[in-house]
Structure 1
């Protein structure tokens, strides 16, 4: 008869086995998805002629083409250079990326940076056949490019809705990392609506799917086999994948593709404001219950916001009824609106809730730049903040489109230095009050409350932002 110990061991083993089987049953099986989707995922290669500086030995330019690249570069660096326009060579640069077919007649989506400045674009299908692609159009702001190849009854992918994605949901990528065609990697959605530097108009999908050079432009799938994004970039300190990758939502990409197909260019909504995040101290200084919304740090001259009555210091809380939780939510939302349409903004101004309706403008190709030159005038010092300021000249006010403001000439030890003020900064508001002169600045600074968050609007190199600080006494 088996002992109690042996029975316990058998039961424990059975329990462990059942847990393993349950865990395996809960993991997704991607095999069917990959089989169905792979034929519509393509490899994209480009060729581009790049000017190569010539080198001179004894008045002649040697032939270095037969040398390996590392030796050729070594010799080129060490030799005298041929004067520009006198016999310099051209070499052919190549790049690899991914893409996917969205229509049976040959429209292909990829990243702008995959095909930028290419002289020739080739699309290779899963059956190894190659087709030359025509560039329909690109949109650098969203990093989306639309290509067209000649073909009929080409395999296509199912397109999903990225706004229905949930954080924690399984996703899968197919692409050509390092040129290895149709490599498959999987992970989960880490976050949604991410704003990245210089990418204000894309609410990126963050995932932990392994993405490497060559994956760019490839599709990101949900478990239903629908494309929910275009893999675009990674965050890395090593140059390789570190567990943080970003995809362009397919809803954004398709909107861009439709406009590129129709007109070859993309227009998007624009308010003409510079905004910043609302932190805890700013929320307190503007009378908000919690940190939320987009703080208007700058209203551009003759832009839609100025014409619609928005003011510096307004905190935009909702747009067309949709809450602005973080400041990046505003450009994401406004960018999807058609120029000429109306947007209703719910905002906080001077401690009171207000509603403003204005007409959305069209985002210009180049942003307005505000200039700040050195100012002259009588120097005044505020000992409470430890900064010396002077009035702006009429020319400087006109160049920066300012009604007032003071220029910081010097920063001594004190609160000003602690919050990062620098000589050359222009202060336009202090404690929610416009600063029109150095004299007024000194008066407002003298009356600042102690031990309470105080806001200050600072213009640095043409860009405005609010900062907060507390005075000990």
Structure 2
């Protein structure tokens, strides 16, 4: 319902979700193309280009795509009630979201809000996948909505029932009581390549049936907080109101659901993200069949590898998912996965980037078997695991003075029994002072070093011994608050 803002503290700007979509940045020449509506140009080939000059290609017939499939794109209006002053609301009673800055000062959006219940309205987009009224949109578009109204291309309006929504993937399924409706064609995101043409249709800022076009900028993007979705990144203009609308390939097939933008201002700045349609259909099938969605869980926290981390773990190149922590009692823990392992394959699928792993796990079901190929201590290890339900819950050093570690620029000391208990750690050393290479790498006073290149650190002496045996780089597993992360540090 409301436009959702996802502020990313680990990024320079915010990734903004919900109510987003394409805006007013089309090229009229695409709409004046002389092709007939039946002549939709094929997508750009994604195979390797042979040597020699690269010839120009004809742009897709966007006009034909809009004329044929635009009628299957719908506008969505929602209404609900929120408490004034509640978390997520500002002093004016509006959702605390950068998108709503656009509406401040307009009729109905100005002045101080009354205390108590405040009516909240939202807008988004969606598209029809079943002639009997089955519609896909974003979960955040209908979140907390008491009433959902779907507006068709021919201006008919229907009250919609929310069959179910899944915040983990940001997918929702609606149903309206109608028959013989126009529907979209569904495509295969796997066939998309970076550089391929794409088109979005939606209702940015309430401007119905707006079309914007661009190219695929990247695939398989992992965003913080969206671990189950390997996003399609595009440069298609997406703005508030487009969230939940379709992303078409050059053949007119829907390959994604427009969901989020990356922005410093709350408006479109050239980077937008879409949920691959195969992920959305996986969610839709569970909602239609069971009324809810179950996600599988492996139970690891992972991070991306860079070249320095790859060197530290003796990998030829930075690929795979580096495990920074394992949840106690999880499927991963029972399979023997350890912090410092690099997961290279999952059920035969190569893990190129860390974001590949959660997307593969999320497409499974609780109880599914998972075969893992793991890189550990310079060799490959084969492990087997049984995935669980994502919602399932799952010795003393003396306190001496800090000792400097010259190679790293650290002064460390053993953890006290109280500190171990508070941090829920069996071992580790506390960093009291940091300079040089470690400081430049981002290590800070108060961090706890848990492991070096995957080997647990139990004492200051052991840390010294481990560092004396390493080469040019070392990967420190540190705990900062409740977060564990590997930090690559050059030894110099």
Asked whether the two chains share a fold, i.e. TM above 0.5, the reply is yes
Structure 1: how far apart are the matches of 2:236 and 2:409? 50
- Following TM superposition, by how much is the alpha carbon of 1:240 offset from its aligned partner in structure 2, in angstroms? 2.1
Partner of 1:147: 174
1:381 maps onto 2:403 in alignment = yes
Kindly indicate whether the alpha-carbon contact (under 8 Å) linking 2:233 and 2:272 is maintained by their aligned counterparts in 1.
yes
Q: Deviations over 1:141-180 (max 9, x none)?
A: 1111111111122222111122222222221111111111
- Following TM superposition, by how much is the alpha carbon of 1:381 offset from its aligned partner in structure 2, in angstroms? 1.0
Kindly indicate whether the alpha-carbon contact (under 8 Å) linking 1:419 and 1:469 is maintained by their aligned counterparts in 2.
yes
Partner of 1:175: 202
Kindly indicate whether the alpha-carbon contact (under 8 Å) linking 1:431 and 1:448 is maintained by their aligned counterparts in 2.
no
1:3-402 correspondence to structure 2 within 5 Å: 26-52=58-84, 76=112, 88-364=115-391, 377-384=399-406, 385-394=408-417, 396-397=419-420, 400-402=423-425
Q: Deviations over 1:230-273 (max 9, x none)?
A: 01111122332222111101000011111112222211222111
1:415-434 correspondence to structure 2 within 5 Å: 415-434=437-456
* SS in structure 2 of the partner of residue 305 of structure 1: helix
- Following TM superposition, by how much is the alpha carbon of 1:448 offset from its aligned partner in structure 2, in angstroms? 4.7
Kindly indicate whether the alpha-carbon contact (under 8 Å) linking 1:411 and 1:421 is maintained by their aligned counterparts in 2.
no
- Following TM superposition, by how much is the alpha carbon of 1:396 offset from its aligned partner in structure 2, in angstroms? 4.5
* SS in structure 2 of the partner of residue 235 of structure 1: strand
Partner of 1:3: none
- Following TM superposition, by how much is the alpha carbon of 1:390 offset from its aligned partner in structure 2, in angstroms? 3.1
Structure 1 residues 307 and 172, CA gap change in structure 2 (3 angstroms): same
* SS in structure 2 of the partner of residue 102 of structure 1: strand
Structure 1: how far apart are the matches of 2:136 and 2:223? 21
Structure 1 residues 149 and 327, CA gap change in structure 2 (3 angstroms): same
* SS in structure 1 of the partner of residue 285 of structure 2: helix
- Following TM superposition, by how much is the alpha carbon of 1:454 offset from its aligned partner in structure 2, in angstroms? 1.6
Kindly indicate whether the alpha-carbon contact (under 8 Å) linking 2:219 and 2:233 is maintained by their aligned counterparts in 1.
yes
Q: Deviations over 1:197-250 (max 9, x none)?
A: 211210111112111111110011123222111011111223322221111010
Structure 2: how far apart are the matches of 1:337 and 1:439? 44
Structure 1 residues 376 and 147, CA gap change in structure 2 (3 angstroms): farther
- Following TM superposition, by how much is the alpha carbon of 1:365 offset from its aligned partner in structure 2, in angstroms? 7.1
Partner of 1:407: 430
* SS in structure 2 of the partner of residue 172 of structure 1: strand
- Following TM superposition, by how much is the alpha carbon of 1:89 offset from its aligned partner in structure 2, in angstroms? 4.8
Partner of 2:462: 440
Structure 1: how far apart are the matches of 2:424 and 2:69? 54
The answer to which structure, 1 or 2, has the higher relative contact order (CA under 8 A, 6+ apart) is 2
**Structure 1 residue runs without a partner (length 5+):** 1-19, 54-67, 78-86, 369-374
Kindly indicate whether the alpha-carbon contact (under 8 Å) linking 1:379 and 1:388 is maintained by their aligned counterparts in 2.
no
Structure 1 residues 217 and 376, CA gap change in structure 2 (3 angstroms): farther
Kindly indicate whether the alpha-carbon contact (under 8 Å) linking 1:376 and 1:390 is maintained by their aligned counterparts in 2.
no
- Following TM superposition, by how much is the alpha carbon of 1:364 offset from its aligned partner in structure 2, in angstroms? 2.4
Structure 2: how far apart are the matches of 1:316 and 1:405? 24
**Structure 2 residue runs without a partner (length 5+):** 1-32, 35-54, 86-103
The structure carrying a bigger helix percent of its residues is: 1
Kindly indicate whether the alpha-carbon contact (under 8 Å) linking 1:195 and 1:328 is maintained by their aligned counterparts in 2.
yes
Structure 1: how far apart are the matches of 2:386 and 2:251? 39
Kindly indicate whether the alpha-carbon contact (under 8 Å) linking 1:41 and 1:100 is maintained by their aligned counterparts in 2.
yes
Structure 2: how far apart are the matches of 1:216 and 1:88? 30
Structure 1 residues 195 and 25, CA gap change in structure 2 (3 angstroms): closer
Kindly indicate whether the alpha-carbon contact (under 8 Å) linking 1:347 and 1:353 is maintained by their aligned counterparts in 2.
yes
